[in-house]
Amino acid sequence: MKIKTKKEIEILSEGGKLLGQILSNLMQMCSVGISTYTIDQAAYEMIVAARGRPSFKNYKSRASDRPFPGSICSSLNSQIVHGIPNKDVILKNGDIYTIDIGMEWPVHKNKRGLFTDTAVTIIIGHAPKIIHKLLNVTAEALEVGIQAIKPGLSVAHIGKAIERFVKKQGDYGIIRELSGHGVGYAVHEDPWIPNYYDKRLDNIILKPGMVLALEPMITNGGYEIKIGKDCWTIETADQSLCAHFEHTVAVTETGCQVLTRRPEENF
């Protein structure tokens, strides 16, 4: 796990604040009748205007992969992550819609920036109370994970806290094959940060200067996943609905600093 310097965390904090504002702006755009492509294009324009670069656009984890075409991951209903924005995908009443967005910032001609990552799930129009509860449980699970971060504790402690909280809320599925991760110098860094207890992570100790992306992904059904025909979109295998919330945080001497808070969040 790579430790970031105080100066690097200051840069990540400034970039994260900008990214939180951009995500807030995108959320306000989301309404019945708008395409996910339109939201993606707005994200690209706002990131570039902020002197950043969309960290997901053209991303691929292996050389043989098809590059990801969007500036955001745009996932609807049973889609968990990595949904591709599309002109033909129009938001409709009752949809639950996840925007996952990352930015490299600041980007200069001959110098790379640092990476932050954040996500939110929202309801388009109106939905039953059971759907509101799914989103509320997932959002609160993220806050529980954030509160579990203390120097000297383990990475496993974060997943244990999230899992314990979610299990108390009712019959929800915690996605197991996808997780949070380190971030900062790259889009994805070690360690793997699952949203359940994994004893193998007991020996990875949280230290000041670590930068982590926490991202609970919770369903109202099972936890098994499948990959869509586009080879990017990951969905629930049972077609249950899924919510996904994420923040980038830096471990401090006493706890952690959330770097990607949106202006409307009251914390």
CA 38/CA 45 separation, integer angstroms: 11
Q: Which pLDDT does position 64 carry in this prediction?
A: 78
Please check the confidence at residue 78 and state whether its pLDDT lies above 80.
Answer: yes
CA 122/CA 32 separation, integer angstroms: 12
- Cβ-count burial 91-110 (b if 16+ within 10 Å, e if not): beeebbbbbbbbbbbbbeee
Q: Would you say the pTM of this structure is higher than 0.95?
A: yes
pLDDT in tens, 105-161: 999 877 899 999 999 999 999 999 999 999 999 999 999 999 999 999 999 999 999
Query: Would you place residue 193 in the very low, low, confident or very high pLDDT band (cuts 50, 70, 90)?
Result: very high
Q: Which pLDDT does position 126 carry in this prediction?
A: 97
Q: Which pLDDT does position 6 carry in this prediction?
A: 97
Domains and CATH numbers, the chain: 6-258 (3.90.230.10)
Please check the confidence at residue 76 and state whether its pLDDT lies above 80.
Answer: yes
Considering only the C-alpha atoms of the chain, give the largest distance between any 2 of them, rounded to a whole number of Å: 51
Q: Which pLDDT does position 266 carry in this prediction?
A: 79
Half-sphere exposure of 192 (CA within 13 A, CB side): 13
Closest CA to 80 of 210, 234, 204: 234
Q: Which pLDDT does position 108 carry in this prediction?
A: 86
pLDDT in tens, 32-74: 999 999 999 999 999 999 999 999 999 988 887 889 999 999 9
Q: Are 194 and 202 in contact (CB under 8 A)?
A: no
Helix and strand counts by DSSP (H, E) for the chain: 4, 15
Distances (CA, A) of 104 to 61, 133, 259, 267: 17, 33, 14, 25
Q: Which pLDDT does position 39 carry in this prediction?
A: 98
CA 215/CA 247 separation, integer angstroms: 7
CA 175/CA 234 separation, integer angstroms: 11
Mean pLDDT of the chain: 97
CA 15/CA 67 separation, integer angstroms: 24
Q: What is the mean pLDDT of residues 23-39?
A: 98
Query: Would you place residue 14 in the very low, low, confident or very high pLDDT band (cuts 50, 70, 90)?
Result: very high
3-state secondary structure of 49: helix
Q: Which pLDDT does position 110 carry in this prediction?
A: 77
Q: Write out the two tokens for 17.
A: 């604040």
Q: What is the mean pLDDT of residues 25-38?
A: 98
